[in-house]
Amino acid sequence: MINHHPPLELLFDYAAGTLPEPVALAVATHASMCPACRDEISAVEALGGALLETLEPVAMSATSLDAVLARLDEPEATPVTVSAARAASGVASFLPGPLRRYLGEVLPGGWDRLPWRRVTRSLEELRLPMSVQGFKASLMRLAPGSTVPVHTHRGQEFTLVLAGGFSDETGEYLPGDFACKDQTHVHRPVVDTDEPCISLVVLDAPLKLTGMMGRLVNPFINRM
């Protein structure tokens, strides 16, 4: 049962198509795991369709239909579809769909086969390539029993749990749960499950660390 969902604003902006890619990735991945949020997105899309119908049509240029008809048989630039990428590389199904295109060459075998980069003894990271600047999107793997240094956020931080879980003062987060923190939060998540906690973490500004442990992790967190 998923207990923590993205706020309505994020679902709305995702459906309207105005979220930057990294935040859209977090929302899409959550929605892939959450029928309730898929439904809210469908609601906003239906509203978008209804608004489209209310627009006064504007005449197209005289040659536009012929121009498009002439292009119908053009070969499409081969899109790297999720299913194609998956079939080609055997990407295992443990990854929710929206994440697969970012990890195209991963072999099957579970989370251990991902090309993690060790940051500290208890933290590994896998940075995801994004088409926009100013954000950082990563998979993070925290060892059982570990804590993230106390920190506040200059911008926003979105965390989607993919495996394992953590707790902080706002509750318990398990697979599918979505956490959304901003500068008003000072928090200290603890991985209180027996397995590592794997999350998709999106930051829209560097973290400001407030704890003693901060210096240790700072170089990695500020690498935007």
Partner 1 sequence: MSTAFVIDDLPLFPFRAGAQCRGRRAAVHGTQAGARVDNDRLCDLIEAVAIHQDRKAFSDLFRHFAPRLKAFGLRQGSDAATADELAQEAMLAVWRKAATFDRSRASATTWIFTIVRNKRIDMFRRQNRPEVTLDEAAEQVSDEAPADDQLRWADAGEVLREVLATLPKEQIVVLQKAFYEDKSHSVIAEELNLPLGTVKSRIRLGLARLRQALPEEQL
**Least Å from the CB of residue 33 to Zn ion:** 8
Q: Which is nearer to Zn ion, 4 or 141 (CB)?
A: 4
Instruction: Tell me if 176 sits within 8 A of 164, measured CB to CB.
Output: no
CB of 50 to Zn ion, least distance (A): 23
Instruction: Tell the smallest beta-carbon distance from residue 121 to partner 1 (Å).
Output: 29
- The CB-side HSE value for 41 (13 A sphere, CA atoms) comes to 20
Q: Amino acid identity, residue 11?
A: L
| Partner whose binding site includes residue 133, from Zn ion, partner 1, none (CB under 5 to 8 Å by kind) | none
Residue whose token pair is 């998923």: 2
Tell me the DSSP string of 142-191. Answer: E-TT-BPPPEEESS-EEEEEEES-EEETTEEE-TT-EEEE-TT--B--B-
**Which of these, 221, 219, 99, lies nearest to 160 by C-alpha position?**
99
Q: Which partner from the list partner 1, Zn ion, none does 144 bind, CB cut-off 5 to 8 Å by kind?
A: none
Q: Which is nearer to Zn ion, 45 or 127 (CB)?
A: 45
Judged by beta carbon distances under 5 to 8 A according to partner kind, the member of Zn ion, partner 1, none in contact with residue 197 is: none
Q: Considering the complex, what minimum distance in angstroms separates the CB of residue 215 from partner 1?
A: 30
- Closest to partner 1 by CB, 32 vs 218, is 32
Q: Is 104 in the site for partner 1 (CB under 8 A)?
A: no
Nearer to partner 1, 166 or 178 (CB): 178
CB-CB contact of 37 with 209 (8 Å): no
- Which among 67-75, 104-112, 144-152, 216-224 is the span making contact with partner 1, rule CB under 8 A? 67-75
Q: How far is the CB of 5 from Zn ion (least distance, A)?
A: 3
Residues 6+ away with beta carbon under 8 Å from 22: 128, 130, 132, 135, 136, 137, 202, 204
Residues between 22 and 51 that touch Zn ion (CB under 5 A): 34, 37
- Residue 123 or 161 having the CB closest to partner 1: 161
Shortest gap between Cβ of 106 and partner 1 (angstroms)? 13
CA separation, residue 7 to residues 32, 94, 177, 194 (Å): 16, 26, 12, 29
Distances (CA, A) of 151 to 90, 105, 157, 178, 202: 38, 34, 11, 18, 15
Tokens 């990294």 locate to 22
* Site membership for Zn ion, residue 5 (CB under 5 A): yes
Q: Which of 110, 171, 183, 224 binds partner 1 (CB under 8 A)?
A: 171
Q: CA separation (Å) from 199 to 61, 176, 206?
A: 49, 9, 18
Residue 172 sits in the site that holds partner 1 (CB under 8 A): no
The residues binding Zn ion (CB under 5 A) are 5, 34, 37
